């Protein structure tokens, strides 16, 4: 898989997630140090790292060289892994975005709200008929 990705210039991103094989930044870094950074990188999900009790802005700075994509969602103060609309939880979204911007990030920043898939057309501000 690694050789094929290298030939096709595809970057394989690892996304740590609570309860899965790679749960936090320490576990990610343990694996990442053995991988080719030209092929592998990080899909930095702010909610997942928040659930793991990590300092998001410090972590953005620490992992800026391997993060190629950022997922945004909010999480409530219990740190239970349940994605919320931005601004409905306790994550400092503006602060995290400012930190991401300060790194000169050239990758993607997307919002991940799979918990709203059943009522996506009813979200505030969504165009009617969606």
Does residue 102 belong to any structural domain of this protein?
Answer: yes
- Domain membership of residue 68 as a residue range: 2-122
Does residue 21 belong to any structural domain of this protein?
Answer: yes
Pairing status of strand 12-14 against strand 108-111: unpaired
Both tokens assigned to 107 = 């990758």
Does residue 130 belong to any structural domain of this protein?
Answer: no
Query: Which CATH number fits the domain that encloses residue 16?
Result: 3.20.20.150
Does residue 30 belong to any structural domain of this protein?
Answer: yes
pLDDT digits (tens, 9 = 90+) for 8-31: 999 999 999 999 999 999 999 999
Does residue 79 belong to any structural domain of this protein?
Answer: yes
Give me the sign of the Cα torsion angle 12, 18, 22, 27: positive
pLDDT for residue 121: 58
- pLDDT(125) > 60: no
Rounded to 5 degrees, what angle do the CA atoms 31, 76, 16 make?
10
pLDDT digits (tens, 9 = 90+) for 57-107: 999 999 999 999 999 999 999 999 999 999 999 999 999 999 999 999 988
Backbone angles phi, psi at 123, to 5 degrees: -65, 145
Give the chain's domain count.
1
The pLDDT-based confidence of 112 (bands split at 50, 70, 90) is: confident
pLDDT for residue 114: 73
Of 45, 40, 36, which Cα lies nearest the Cα of 18?
A: 45
């Amino acid at each position: 898989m690694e050789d094929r990705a290298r030939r096709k210039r595809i970057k394989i991103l690892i996304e740590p997630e609570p309860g899965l094989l790679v749960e936090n930044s320490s576990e990610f870094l343990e694996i990442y140090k053995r991988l080719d950074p030209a092929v592998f990188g990080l899909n930095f999900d702010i909610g997942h790292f928040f659930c793991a009790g990590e300092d998001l802005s410090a972590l953005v700075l620490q992992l800026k060289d391997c993060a190629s994509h950022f997922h945004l969602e909010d999480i409530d103060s219990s740190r239970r892994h349940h994605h919320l609309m931005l601004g409905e939880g306790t994550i400092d979204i503006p602060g995290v975005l400012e930190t991401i911007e300060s790194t000169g990030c050239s990758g993607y920043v997307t919002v991940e709200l799979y918990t709203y898939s059943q009522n996506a057309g009813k979200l505030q501000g969504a165009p009617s008929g969606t």
